[in-house]
Structure 1
Amino acid sequence: MKKIISTPRAPKAVGPYSQATEASGTTLYVSGQLPVDPATGTMPESIEEQTRQALENTMAILAEAGYAPEHVVKSTVLLADIGDFAAMNGVYARYYTRDMPARVCYQAAALPMGAKVEIETIAVK
């Protein structure tokens, strides 16, 4: 059984997909979150602020579905420039402080809307 998750505290999907989908009431698949402020529709400039915003969007979706950061088991981080890895990682480490999820990080040729970062998340209760 699947349940679609949506919250106004994260940006609306910009295509034919959901913010998140919960499967069987125990696994949450969060679509890649861009660093878009849901209130203004704008993105901050720096990689640090973009990472923070993408993670704030992720946390809002997790909370809407009744999950917490400690439920996150896997993250995929896409960077427009792998040279931003250390800066992104510094912000990311503030959100996952214990029992860190598995993670992979790739440089992408380009990200939607000219973003510097996009973060996809899987959580399990």
Structure 2
Amino acid sequence: MPRQTITTPDAPHSPLFSQGVRAGSQVFVSGTTGIDVSTGRMAGDDIRAQTRQALGNCEAILRAAGASLDDVVEVGVLLSDPGDFAGMNEEYARWFPTEPPARYAARLGAEVPGLLVSIRMTASLA
């Protein structure tokens, strides 16, 4: 099954990984942070602002792949500080208010100054 690399200027990017990959009916969104692409900086220094931006960035990547948040079947959340779980969860619930996808949360292993959250997603277009 051929894979298609997904790119969009509306989300952070790196030469080290694809923003997303579509393989058949599956779309895999890489771990995406709360960087505001219009400024190149974190959207804020609190978990809610960074979660909001990270989810918006994931949504932009999904859109570039022909998918939407309604197609998301699984989400992975990595937190720099597990104490931020409640704040992340509060913002997350606004994006998935009913019938949310499967999800896991874990501690982010890499230490990146200012980075509070990284979110990855898998969507199914079947």
TM-score range, shorter chain: over 0.9
Q: Which structure 1 residue ranges, 4+ long, deviate > 4 Å from structure 2?
A: none
Question: Could you say which residue in structure 1 is the equivalent of 2:38?
Answer: 39
Q: Deviations over 1:42-72 (max 9, x none)?
A: 0011110000010010011111111111110
Q: Which residues of 2 match residues 17-36 of structure 1 at below 5 A?
A: 17-24=17-24, 26-36=25-35
Question: Could you say which residue in structure 1 is the equivalent of 2:4?
Answer: 3
- Given that residues 45 and 114 in structure 2 are in contact (C-alpha distance below 8 angstroms), is that contact kept between their aligned partners in structure 1? no
1:116 aligns with 2:113: no
d(CA) in 1 for partners of 2:33, 2:113? 9
Give the structure-1-normalised TM-score: 0.93
d(CA) in 1 for partners of 2:18, 2:113? 18
Mind listing any 5+ residue stretches in structure 1 that lack a counterpart? none
> What amino acid is aligned across from residue 72 of structure 1 in structure 2?
V
> What amino acid is aligned across from residue 59 of structure 2 in structure 1?
M
> What amino acid is aligned across from residue 41 of structure 1 in structure 2?
G
Report the CA distance shift for 1:63/1:113 in structure 2 as closer, same or farther (over 3 A). Answer: farther
Q: Which residues of 2 match residues 1-125 of structure 1 at below 5 A?
A: 1-13=2-14, 15-24=15-24, 26-43=25-42, 44-125=44-125
SS of the residue 1:91 aligns to: helix
d(CA) in 2 for partners of 1:111, 1:74? 24
Identity of aligned residues (%): 41
d(CA) in 2 for partners of 1:111, 1:72? 28
- Given that residues 48 and 91 in structure 2 are in contact (C-alpha distance below 8 angstroms), is that contact kept between their aligned partners in structure 1? yes
- Given that residues 70 and 99 in structure 1 are in contact (C-alpha distance below 8 angstroms), is that contact kept between their aligned partners in structure 2? no
Report the CA distance shift for 1:9/1:92 in structure 2 as closer, same or farther (over 3 A). Answer: same
- Given that residues 111 and 118 in structure 1 are in contact (C-alpha distance below 8 angstroms), is that contact kept between their aligned partners in structure 2? no
d(CA) in 2 for partners of 1:96, 1:54? 14
Report the CA distance shift for 1:93/1:10 in structure 2 as closer, same or farther (over 3 A). Answer: same
Mind listing any 5+ residue stretches in structure 2 that lack a counterpart? none
